[in-house]
Amino acid sequence: MHIGVTVRNMGTQATAETMLACATAAEQAGLESVWITDHIAIPPDDAEGSGGCYTDTLTTLAWLGGATERIKLGSGVLIVPYRPKLPTLKQIATVQALCGERLLLGVGIGWMDPEFRALGVDRHQRGRITDDTLAFLNECFSQDEVALNGQAFLFKPRPAKPPVLVGGAAPHALRRAARYGDGWLPMVGDPAKLAEPIAAYHAMTEELGKPRGTVTVMTGLPLGDVAASQALLEQYAALEVERVVCAMRYEDVDSYHARLDTLLQVIA
């Protein structure tokens, strides 16, 4: 089972020096992946913890990819309906091509009403927009020539398609992951709550005649208790979870290193 960690691309930690130091530390520690989150327009009354400061997800992953060599680059998650379809797919392909095909594309439909209002997007259409974009993503990464709005064009660069991991809860996210994605990306704290939806997800992919989808879990671990953290990871492994992404809370680079050291004890 792979282990990934988050890097804060928000708040006071969202500086070039801090993000690079944290991502580099995770790579040097031998972890599989680093993950960042996605917000575009935080309203003033919901800015606690971030001050409303978030660096752009795909831009930040491209930058981190240029500064690292091996570690995979995860979006946890990119809010698909916030963005125009074709330019976003071009960005995704570019990050994937320039960063050595290390992108793990976590995607979601979003939830924050003020962001949808700021972007002029109908929140009630977010599922339809996401499905349409993911269907087109699969088309673009499967052939050089595609068409949009009646115009054929070449979709290049066309590297290997990054794994598309659909975030969100059952049942809607499961159906979307089965139909358009390569895996499911739930955010959960209790492994016991995963057995039933994982079984349902695998049944959906089988019904569609698709390969068995993977499961990546984003969660917090009680790193102050090594034994308890190890027990949780064992439960996720028993469910055949492919990857656990540990959410890291920290104030600065030193505290990030301290959290990493504890995590390494857990997975040793």
3-state class (DSSP) for residue 37? coil
Integer Cα distance of 64 and 151 in angstroms: 34
Round the average pLDDT of the chain to a whole number and report it.
97
> What does the pLDDT read at residue 130?
98
In whole angstroms, what separates CA 197 from the centre of its chain?
19
- Of 185, 225, 178, whose CA–CA distance to 204 is shortest? 178
pLDDT digits (tens, 9 = 90+) for 21-37: 999 999 999 999 999 99
pLDDT digits (tens, 9 = 90+) for 156-174: 999 999 999 999 999 999 9
> What does the pLDDT read at residue 17?
98
pLDDT band, very low/low/confident/very high, at 82 (cuts 50, 70, 90)? very high
> What does the pLDDT read at residue 158?
98
How much is the average pLDDT of 186-198? 96
pLDDT band, very low/low/confident/very high, at 66 (cuts 50, 70, 90)? very high
- The domain in which residue 195 lies consists of 2-267
H runs (alpha helix) in the chain: 16-28, 57-67, 85-98, 113-119, 126-140, 172-180, 195-207, 226-238, 253-267
> What does the pLDDT read at residue 54?
98
In the block, tokens 């939830």 appear at 111
pLDDT digits (tens, 9 = 90+) for 69-80: 999 999 999 999
pTM given for the model: 0.97
- Of 152, 162, 173, 153, whose CA–CA distance to 218 is shortest? 173
In whole angstroms, what separates CA 173 from the centre of its chain?
14
> What does the pLDDT read at residue 161?
98
> What does the pLDDT read at residue 141?
98
pLDDT band, very low/low/confident/very high, at 97 (cuts 50, 70, 90)? very high
How much is the average pLDDT of 220-230? 96
- Total domains in the fold of the chain: 1
**DSSP conformational letter for 187:** B
Pairing of strands 145-148, 151-154: antiparallel
How much is the average pLDDT of 146-159? 98
> What does the pLDDT read at residue 227?
97
- For residue 151, the domain's CATH number is 3.20.20.30
pLDDT digits (tens, 9 = 90+) for 42-62: 999 999 999 999 999 999 999
pLDDT band, very low/low/confident/very high, at 94 (cuts 50, 70, 90)? very high
3-state class (DSSP) for residue 157? coil
